[in-house]
Structure 1
Amino acid sequence: MDNFKNHYTVSIYTENNIGLLNRISAIFQRRHINIESLNTSASEIDGVSRFTILVIMTEDQIKKIVGQIEKQVEVIKAFYHRDEDTIYQESCLFKIKSDLLFEERQIQNIIKDSNSNIVTVNKEFFVLEKSGRRNEIDQLYKDLSVFGIMQFTRSGRIAVTKDEMKISLMLAAFNH
């Protein structure tokens, strides 16, 4: 088996129940595995939630973790994917003093070059939004931090697989 550590995106389809997030995160915690990012949302299936978790571990470890996750009663199915098997993004927001937008030509160039968008502008601040890969967001953070960032937040990874996931077919068979 592969003992090399990789980024893995874990997709977990679940019923929406209280306490499940704690139990899933405890599975990683017991193995001393850090969750790099976490996103929960509705899925493509009505009434089914989806957790998208980014971790760095070996394939042996991820297989065991996914097996443990699937033992949770509310979990319908869990999958893991390598980066090359997914299309993924993160989003972030930067809050920056407004006077910099008008006085610093370099900020305007950074905004243009990074393909980020101005969400709002007022007298005190403007808010910049960027969606992209983690390294693009990290670079934008580095470029803007020179000017001072009032607030910053980023989302967890969101991802879809390049290949079709058979979850809908599995649920249809399960419901019959």
Structure 2
Amino acid sequence: MDKAWFTISVYSENNVGLLNRISGIFLKRHINIESLNVSRSEIDGVSKFTIVTFTTEDWSRKIVRQIEKQIEVIKAFYHTDEETIFQECALFKIASDLLFDERQIQNIIKENHSEIVTVARDFFVISKTGRRREVDAMYDQLKPFGIMQFVRSGRISVTKDVMAITALLNGFHEEV
């Protein structure tokens, strides 16, 4: 089987230690987690893990089954990139003098559909939202000017199809 990018969505209770146990499932199989984001979900009291891996569909299926064995996990899914809409966010901290002395910096900001989120005496911060390759391209453009700090978020995603988990959990909350 060919390797591809998979987004694994895990809906769970918010309990201490679950992240460690989930990451252990990947560790045992020698599968790298390329990106990880945890946030509240659309359902009250339920957290959503968004995990990105580069592996086979067979391994993704096995990992999801193992994750679902964790007692706090309500449901887990895996999706291909074609089945999801996804973004990342990045922040670039750059020396302030470059904003005014290097016209190219302003062009990079405009061409990459990014924005300046703060300006201080010694630095300014640019925010870029997009796909990984778009963030990487902007990084490559800014690198020659000197990046003081750089950070990127994990992937956040929603599925193109309706997620059955929402109806399932809403029904569960109504019964309780």
TM-score of Structure 1 vs Structure 2, range by shorter chain: over 0.9
Match of 2:60 among 42, 59, 62: 62
AA matched with 1:37: S
Aligned positions of 1:30-49 closer than 5 A: 30-49=28-47
Paired position in structure 2 for 1:13? 11
CA distance in 1, matches of 2:43, 2:169: 9
CA distance in 2, matches of 1:70, 1:89: 25
Alignment of 1:84-163 (within 5 A): 84-163=82-161
Unaligned residue ranges in structure 1 (runs of 5+): none
Please, which runs of 5 or more residues in structure 2 have no aligned partner? none
Structure 2 SS opposite 1:152: strand
Question: Post-superposition shift, 1:115?
Answer: 0.4
CA shift digits 1:97-147 (9 cap, x unpaired): 000000001111000000010001111000000000000000000000000
Aligned partners of 1:127, 1:113: CA distance in 2, in Å?
16
TM-score (norm 1): 0.97
Q: How far is 1:173 from its partner? A: 4.2
- Give the number of aligned pairs: 174
Would you say the 8 A contact 2:43–2:170 is kept in 1?
no
Q: Distance in 1 between matches of 2:170 and 2:5?
A: 31
- The one-letter code matched in structure 2 to 1:171 is L
AA at the equivalent of 2:157: A
Instruction: Calculate the TM-score normalised by the size of structure 2.
Output: 0.97
Identity %: 66
**Contact between 2:12 and 2:46, CA under 8 Å: does it hold in 1?**
yes
Q: Tell me, what secondary structure is at the counterpart of 1:146?
A: helix
